[in-house]
Chains A and B, each alone.
Chain A
Amino acid sequence: MKKIHIALLVLIAASIAVLISFLKTATTYDSINIAMSKPGKFVHVMAQLDKTQPIEYDAVKNPNYLRFTVFDSTGARFQVVYHNAKPDNMEMSDKLVLKGRYENDHFECKDIQTKCPSKYKDNMAAAKKEAASSTSGSTN
């Protein structure tokens, strides 16, 4: 066997090993109930902001403390604490991807991704708004 083939095999084996170890460090997308059932484990949770509950954030007092409530499709809910600035479009988002772990009585969040309604729907809303505002001058 040529040296270059040995190198090839070794490098390919190394790449596969890297990918397997990557899968081992990978986490999971979980529901709120499952996240709560494994406290301390890092998970991704897809949920929606509960707008009936207060969003605790006062940038004047502490810009690095945000507390809010979310619920998911199963109806389960928990409180989330995020030690960072409040994501600007959080109230408008229709979905939040929360990354963190459930601890004690809340979800300690390291990162939030906000998913806004798609641009297309936005357009619809804007068009409707515009249309509504233009009705005044039109009789037919």
Chain B
Amino acid sequence: MDYIGEHRLPGQLGHFFLVLSLVASLVAAFAYFKSAHKDMHPDAPYWKRLGRIAFLIEVFSVFAIFGILFYIISNHLFEYKYAWQHSSRSLEVKYLLACFWEGQEGSFLLWSVWHCVLGLFLLTRKKEWEAPVMSVLSFVQFCLATMIAGIYIFGWKMGSNPFILLRDSGVLDSAPALHLDFDVSKAFRPDYMLSIKDGNDLNPLLQNYWMVIHPPVLFMGFASTTIPFAFTIAGLWKKKFGEWVSDTLPWALFCGAVLGVGIMMGGMWAYESLTFGGYWAWDPVENASLVPWMVMIAGIHTLLVYKHTGYSLRATHLFFILSFALILYSTFLTRSGILGESSVHAFTDEGMNWQLIAFMSVFVLPALGLFFKRYSEIPAIRKEEATSSREFWMFIGSLVFFLSAIVIIAKTSLPVFNKIFGSHIAPPENPEYAYNQIQVFVAIILGTLTAIGQYLKYKQTTSGFFWKKIGIPTLIAAVAATLILVFGDVNYKKETYGFMIAIWGAVVAAVYAIIANASYLWLGIKGKLKIAGGSIAHIGFGMVLLGILISSSKKEILSNNIEGAPVAVGPNEDPRDNLTLFEGIPSKMGQYTLTYESDSQHPKKELWFYNIRFKRNDGKEEFMLQPNAFVNYKGREGLMANPSAKHYWDHDVFTYITFLPNPAAEKDTAKFNTSIAKAGDTIFYSKGFIILDTVTSQSNLPEEIFGKDGSLQQAVLKVHAKTGSLYTISPKMARAKGETVALPDTLTAEGVIFQLQNVHRDNTIELGVKESAALSKFITLKAYKFPFILLLWLGVIVTATGMLMSMFQRITQQRTKKQAGA
């Protein structure tokens, strides 16, 4: 049957390229494997050429798939489930890419695209490693291709196809209006597309520019862990142990920089658009991407140790294998739906769990098997490292970083543990503290090692040399850290005193890391910027540590609601964090006075902006924050809030909406209650009482408006609200041209309308009082102060810059070496 309004061509092309990429990647993997396996055989170059051609076809197919899917989304072809599920017509163009990676298929595709880009770079470089490395990479590509293949094999669905039609996806099956004769057992109506006018749209929380750029960077980081892994496997396979380190180092540094930035961009997205009040919550999804990065960094350090001294090659192998393995594990954790109970932002289960487990096993098990099989053949130095050597402490540092990563992922894996053993273990009462109380000690060790590491020499350091060099930086750091602790008031009393002292220790270590590495730029390498990458990355790392420590331990809740709390805060309870503001009524909050001034709506969406004026009580400053919220977005009831922050160099003031009156309940249904009163009388209403002050009458009125015998009566009322506030209100009543018009007065803060309904000759009045919740326009918000958050963001940039500088320096170094060799 032909359906009206469907565009089938993009989907058919998409299907074609999906299959082509699946086949081409398998051919590439196999051909490269043959070429690498028998590299002395005369056929080897032919296999290699075949591998290369297949890989290029694969690259072309993946780009084609990417392009077609983007075409479908950007042209709103809602006959395709992917476009319908993730986008809509009202969505801004800039968020179209965010729709692309909202779904599992799109994000797998993104990952695959980056592998292609990295593979193309690899092809232009190292020829002797091409076959084994590309064989591994192509096989990873093949596995990714199966994830989006959507092919049925013996009734078992492999992968999830992004080009599936909406009518084939089952979503419409139970909608009678779309079927012939309104019978869901019959075929779809040929004009069913007329009913599919708009898509389901992108989740409003993802409608943020960080969601456009954070996933590509993060997935580039994911993809780049494959390269050190592939080199490691190639080395083990061809028994060329450690010969790959110089080639791998720039890739590993690139991976460290990009993955690190990707993770922290995720933190920035969380900070700017989620409302847990921070950038990091030790959420399983966050941990799952942090841990491979930590292991990669450990690997970079042991690799440097090996390069300079010959030690730690075995550890380097293990770290590079595990870094990639943990990427696969994190893919499994976030996409299998196993985190369901414990994470806020994991993908939902798409029924691909076994495939994900297979993806993981097919790499991890053989890789570890090969590693242990070859373990004794991997060269290692028997002689012990001197405790005064740089390599000894670098190894210790890497080991601590690695073990800390393992501890984090083990804690994160609680849901997996529960699933396997059928247990019901839940995270501790304070899950963040459970991580922090351990990681603070890791920060102390790593901060200190980062500080002294470069002042130690490889092989051996004489204590005279060491102290002469590091003496002055140590002294400066000690003074700086003391000043910060004394004047910075870094006192985190929520947990134990031991924890507070550990935080102090970590602050000292972080300051030491910054100052010692900054000094090293002059003392160690005499300002030669070319080779300063390492020191700069370490300065950045110190800044990140310090930023994390200060911003988290000095985070303050500004919106503490002191007034009107009916129950006292108990010893173990959190403070009351939410504050309600009425439109136009200033409320005090800490050192600020807040006024909810107005709100406005986005021209196209159900997105509301709330203008809140922050005025410092000392009158020195005034600014406006504009947190926003999606209200009943696309018919989905509820509120999705985005925070807003005012940035200073040393802190952020951060606020978001936690509650809004339900707009649906705002319909005015209450009626006026009429009371009769004369001056001095008291009228009660539910939120207080009213005293009638005076009643006045005016009769000398302009005739063109009021007519001949016009008059205007006015009652002045004093309203004593239960909250202790006193208001003066004056409803009026006009008699004009024979008609009576009531001019009611509204007391917004209390949600009451007063209507003067009649005035008798003896000046008794009939007063209508209407109470309505809808009148009191209010918002409830939370506000925080984050000190020194800028230091953290800066630290991330500095670290990444340092790593990229090192990467370029290593690339040049290698090139010059090669030229010298040739």
Specify which chain B residues have a CB less than 8 angstroms from the CB of A33 in the assembled complex: none
Known: A88-B639, A123-B85. A59 touches B580 (CB 8 A): yes
Count contacts on B: residues with CB < 8 A to the other chain: 74
CB-defined interface of A81-100 with B at 8 Å, one 1/0 digit per residue?
00111101101100001010
Cβ contact within 8 Å between B782 and A85: yes
Complex: chain A residue closest to B197, CB-CB: A130
Cβ contact within 8 Å between B636 and A2: no
The B571-598 residues at the A interface (CB cut-off 8 A) are 573-574, 576-580, 582
CB-defined interface of B146-182 with A at 8 Å, one 1/0 digit per residue?
0000000000000000000000000110111110111
Cβ contact within 8 Å between B177 and A60: no
Cβ contact within 8 Å between A134 and B177: yes
Specify which chain B residues have a CB less than 8 angstroms from the CB of A129 in the assembled complex: 635
Specify which chain A residues have a CB less than 8 angstroms from the CB of B574 in the assembled complex: 83-84, 110
Known: A22-B411, A124-B174. A62 touches B384 (CB 8 A): no
Specify which chain B residues have a CB less than 8 angstroms from the CB of A91 in the assembled complex: 637
Looking at the assembled complex, report how far the CB atom of A129 sits from the nearest CB atom of chain B, in whole angstroms. Answer: 7
Looking at the assembled complex, report how far the CB atom of B494 sits from the nearest CB atom of chain A, in whole angstroms. Answer: 13
Looking at the assembled complex, report how far the CB atom of B384 sits from the nearest CB atom of chain A, in whole angstroms. Answer: 5
Specify which chain A residues have a CB less than 8 angstroms from the CB of B427 in the assembled complex: 26-27, 44
- Per the bound structure, the CA–CA distance linking A29 and B782 in Å amounts to 29
Looking at the assembled complex, report how far the CB atom of A18 sits from the nearest CB atom of chain B, in whole angstroms. Answer: 5
Q: Is B395 an interface residue (CB 8 A)?
A: yes
CB-defined interface of B267-292 with A at 8 Å, one 1/0 digit per residue?
00000000000000000000000000
Looking at the assembled complex, report how far the CB atom of B427 sits from the nearest CB atom of chain A, in whole angstroms. Answer: 7
Cβ contact within 8 Å between B180 and A140: yes
A140 CB contact (under 8 Å) in B172, B175, B181, B577: B181
Specify which chain A residues have a CB less than 8 angstroms from the CB of B634 in the assembled complex: 126
Q: Is B9 an interface residue (CB 8 A)?
A: no
Complex: chain A residue closest to B201, CB-CB: A126
Cβ contact within 8 Å between B778 and A59: yes
B578 CB contact (under 8 Å) in A3, A84, A92: A84
Specify which chain A residues have a CB less than 8 angstroms from the CB of B407 in the assembled complex: 15, 18-19
Cβ contact within 8 Å between B778 and A64: no
B406 CB contact (under 8 Å) in A15, A43, A140: A15
- Per the bound structure, the CA–CA distance linking A30 and B640 in Å amounts to 30
Looking at the assembled complex, report how far the CB atom of A139 sits from the nearest CB atom of chain B, in whole angstroms. Answer: 11
Looking at the assembled complex, report how far the CB atom of B192 sits from the nearest CB atom of chain A, in whole angstroms. Answer: 9
Count contacts on A: residues with CB < 8 A to the other chain: 60
Q: Is A128 an interface residue (CB 8 A)?
A: yes
Looking at the assembled complex, report how far the CB atom of B609 sits from the nearest CB atom of chain A, in whole angstroms. Answer: 17
The B392-427 residues at the A interface (CB cut-off 8 A) are 392, 395-396, 399-400, 403-404, 406-407, 410-411, 414, 424-427
The A104-119 residues at the B interface (CB cut-off 8 A) are 110, 113, 115, 118-119
Which of the candidate stretches B108-116, B484-492, B560-568, B701-709 sits at the interface with the other chain? Answer: B560-568
The B12-69 residues at the A interface (CB cut-off 8 A) are none
The A1-43 residues at the B interface (CB cut-off 8 A) are 2-4, 7-8, 11-12, 14-15, 18-19, 22-23, 25-30, 42-43
Cβ contact within 8 Å between B636 and A122: yes
Looking at the assembled complex, report how far the CB atom of A13 sits from the nearest CB atom of chain B, in whole angstroms. Answer: 10
Specify which chain A residues have a CB less than 8 angstroms from the CB of B189 in the assembled complex: 138, 140
Cβ contact within 8 Å between B429 and A27: yes
The A41-72 residues at the B interface (CB cut-off 8 A) are 42-44, 46, 59-65
Q: Is B659 an interface residue (CB 8 A)?
A: yes
- Per the bound structure, the CA–CA distance linking A65 and B780 in Å amounts to 12
- Per the bound structure, the CA–CA distance linking A91 and B637 in Å amounts to 9
Q: Is A74 an interface residue (CB 8 A)?
A: no
- B interface residues with partner A (beta carbon < 8 Å): 85, 171-172, 174-178, 180-182, 189, 194-197, 200, 340-341, 344, 348, 384-385, 387, 392, 395-396, 399-400, 403-404, 406-407, 410-411, 414, 424-429, 434, 438, 561, 564-567, 573-574, 576-580, 582, 634-641, 658-659, 661, 751, 773, 776, 778, 780, 782
User: Please, could you name 28 A-B residue pairs with CB atoms under 8 Å apart, sorted by A?
Assistant: A4-B395, A4-B396, A18-B407, A26-B427, A27-B428, A28-B424, A29-B426, A59-B578, A60-B778, A62-B566, A63-B780, A64-B565, A65-B567, A85-B578, A88-B638, A89-B638, A89-B639, A92-B636, A99-B426, A110-B574, A113-B341, A119-B85, A124-B171, A126-B634, A126-B635, A127-B172, A130-B175, A140-B182
Since A129-B635, A135-B182 are in contact, a sample of 18 more A-B pairs with Cβ atoms closer than 8 Å, ordered by chain A residue number, is A3-B387, A4-B384, A4-B396, A11-B399, A23-B425, A27-B426, A43-B426, A59-B661, A60-B751, A60-B773, A84-B576, A84-B578, A85-B782, A88-B659, A92-B636, A99-B429, A119-B85, A130-B196
